[in-house]
Amino acid sequence: MPALRERVRGLLPAARADLEALVRIPGVSSWPDAAAALDESAAVVADLLRGAGMREVEVLRARCADGSPGAPAVLARRPAPAGAPTVLLYAHHDVQPPGPAAAWTSPAFEPAERDGRLYGRGTADDKAGVMAHVTALRALLPAWGPQEGVGVVVLVEGEEESGSPSLPDLLATHGDRLAADVVVVADSDNWSVDRPSLTTSLRGLLELEVGVRTLDHPLHSGLYGGLVPDATTALTVLLARLWDDEGDLAVEGLVRGEAADLPRTEEELRADAGVLEGVALVGRGSLLARTWSRPSATVVATDATPMADASNTLAASARAKLSVRLAPGQDVDEAERLVTAHLETTTPFGAHLEVRRLGSGRPFDGASAGDAAVLAAADWALTTAWDGATVAHQGMGGSIPVVAELLDVLPGATVLVTGVEDPDTRAHGVDESLSLRVLEGACTAEALLLARLAGQA
């Protein structure tokens, strides 16, 4: 195995260069005019997989539920030699919007290295995940004859950050070609730069639009303020009633779990998150359970009168986008009923309430699920790639709805959720970055894992 580790090390400069080229393509799947960039990025990913030695590579275009075209996904396949398992490698090539350009230290779509980290939108989430797959295949495929190695399926989605609207159609149409015994989802976090994680659970997600109306038209706030309720205030009161005084979600009946007690102190968590001095953490239960196994709600956007348009009026309507994270084991429809019922019973002033589901994704509960030999192989590969560090088996608060969707079509598969992020990555935020140490670890671990599953390590 030292030889394989060396081979991966030799492939890192190319991985880095190809990653930079991918980061330069602004494939923001939620932008209305993203089609050209997503086409380009899918084509680049397809070329990378062909160059790595995958023969069967194609760009798939499935349809969303409303009939509109989904973003291009890349599917590549290598048939399994007789008796060998098939491994499905998943990542996504789309990214989140960069947010305010002026806030970035260096431009979001121009990769730049500082202190062992590569900065730019998608450097980690999830273009490094794509490169981990490509690099592992580059290290192994040239040495494998047709009857050697494992079967490989690579699925690189182009709309994960938009809730994968055409994934159901893709799975219905091409599901049989995704058949695999092991699934590697390289899209999660690590305990630290020096300690890899295997993600054993993920939260689900329920995105709701919450609209409130109190008036037929805006009114002068002097003439009517104090008598007539305005929609912005009604929405503010309604949203505030989602939490109790400790900042714990007040919605009753949602699944709330405990989390394994791994050593992370409040000081470390505060530092990782950049919480300001004097600001309290919210919620109840162990620190890690609050993000791994308990529900939460965040107001991620509001439509209310912008400051520049303020005209001393009572607003007639206002709305917010609520992002509700769901604990592993939570049914999404049940959660929607419970949150909606809570909103209906706490709406102030008899305001007219409208709640609409914008999107959702199921949680993943994979603690100790799967083939023991495969899980042991993953542990060995990650430990070896990180020079003997113990793998953290941990839940994550983020959501990868694809995992549950894939398990529907591959019910017997063992899912390994790995990742290229670390607590400093700031995925989706300003100054997103990838640790180059983690990139090396992720590429090495995946090559080692595939070699072991092929019986070669």
Q: Which residues bind Mn ion (CB under 5 A)?
A: 125-126, 187
In three-state form (DSSP H/G/I as H, E/B as E, the rest C), the secondary structure along 289-346 is HHHHCCCEEEEEEEECCCHHHCCCEECCEEEEEEEEEECCCCCHHHHHHHHHHHHHHH
According to CB under 6 A, which residues from 287 to 326 bind ligand BES?
none
Say which entry of ligand BES, Mn ion, none residue 205 contacts (CB below 5 to 8 A, set by partner kind): ligand BES
From the list 414, 405, 409, the residue with the least C-alpha distance to 175 is 409
Q: Is 398 in the site for ligand BES (CB under 6 A)?
A: yes
Residue whose tokens read 């047709």: 146
The gap from C-alpha 135 to its chain's centroid, in whole angstroms, comes to 21
Q: Which is nearer to ligand BES, 96 or 347 (CB)?
A: 96
Q: Which of 397, 399, 400 is nearest to 290 (CA)?
A: 397
Q: Are 309 and 285 in contact, with CB atoms under 8 Å apart? A: no
Among 18, 181, 187, 424, binds ligand BES (CB under 6 A): 187
Looking at residues 332 to 351 of the shown chain, list those that interact with ligand BES (rule: CB under 6 A). Answer: none
Peptide bond preceding 126 in cis form (omega within 30 of 0): yes
Nearer residue to ligand BES within complex by CB, 20 or 422 = 422
Beta strand 219-220 with 352-361 is unpaired
The only residue of 29, 313, 399, 444 in contact with ligand BES, by rule CB under 6 A: 399
- Single-letter code of the amino acid located at 343: L
Is residue 205 a contact residue for ligand BES (CB under 6 A)? yes
Residue of closest CB approach to ligand BES: 398
> Minimum distance between the CB of residue 441 and Mn ion, rounded to whole angstroms?
18
Pairing of strands 117-119, 197-202: unpaired
Q: Does 396 bind ligand BES (CB under 6 A)?
A: yes
Q: Which residues of 166-201 are buried (b: 16+ CB within 10 A; e: fewer)?
A: bbbbbbeebeeebbbbbbbbbbbbbbbbebbbbbbb
Minimum Å gap between C-beta 204 and Mn ion is 15
Stretch that binds ligand BES, among 115-123, 146-154, 370-378, 391-399 (CB under 6 A): 391-399
Nearer to Mn ion, 124 or 140 (CB): 124
380, two tokens: 């060995």
Q: Interacting stretch for ligand BES, rule CB under 6 A, among 111-119, 240-248, 296-304, 399-407?
A: 399-407
Compute, in degrees rounded to 10, the torsion defined by CA atoms 39, 138, 202, 367: 150
Q: Which is nearer to ligand BES, 238 or 427 (CB)?
A: 427
Q: Minimum Å distance from CB 427 to Mn ion?
A: 5
Q: Which does 151 bind (CB under 5 to 8 A by kind): ligand BES, Mn ion, none?
A: none
Touching ligand BES, residues 118-157 (CB under 6 A): 125-126
Name the residue nearer to Mn ion (CB basis): 159 or 187: 187
> Could you tell which of ligand BES, Mn ion, none binds residue 48, using a CB distance below 5 to 8 A set by kind?
none
DSSP state of 413: P
Residue 189: name its binding partner from ligand BES, Mn ion, none (Cβ under 5 to 8 Å by kind).
ligand BES
The residue type found at 81 is P
**Contact in structure between 86 and 152 (CB atoms under 8 Å):** yes
Nearest to ligand BES of 201, 232 (CB atom): 201
Under the criterion CB under 6 A, does residue 363 sit at the interface with ligand BES? no
Q: Which range touches ligand BES (CB under 6 A), out of 83-91, 151-159, 290-298, 397-405?
A: 397-405
In order, the DSSP letters of 45-101 are: HHHHHHHTT-SEEEEE--B-TTS-B---EEEEEEPPPTT--EEEEEEE--B-----G
Backbone angles phi, psi at 23, to 5 degrees: -65, -30
CB of 417 to Mn ion, least distance (A): 11
Q: State the minimum distance, in angstroms, from the CB of residue 126 to ligand BES.
A: 6
Q: How far is the CB of 121 from Mn ion (least distance, A)?
A: 10
Pairing mode, strands 86-92 and 182-188: parallel
SS3 182: strand
Q: Which is nearer to Mn ion, 313 or 425 (CB)?
A: 425
Q: Residue 399: which of ligand BES, Mn ion, none does it interact with, CB under 5 to 8 A by kind? A: ligand BES
Q: How many residues bind ligand BES (CB under 6 A)?
A: 18
Residue pair 164/403 in contact (Cβ under 8 Å)? The answer is no
Distance of CA 289 to the CA centre of its chain: 19
Residue 149 or 401 with smaller CB distance to ligand BES: 401
Choosing from 18, 157, 161, 422, the residue that interacts with ligand BES (CB under 6 A) is 161
Tell me the closest approach of the beta carbon of residue 187 to ligand BES, in angstroms: 4
Question: Using CB atoms within 10 A of its CB, is residue 291 exposed (0-12), middle (13-18) or buried (19+)?
Answer: middle
Considering only 74, 91, 254, 400, the residue that binds ligand BES (CB under 6 A) is 400
Binding stretches for ligand BES (CB under 6 A): 125-126, 160-161, 163, 187-189, 202, 205, 361, 396, 398-401, 421, 427
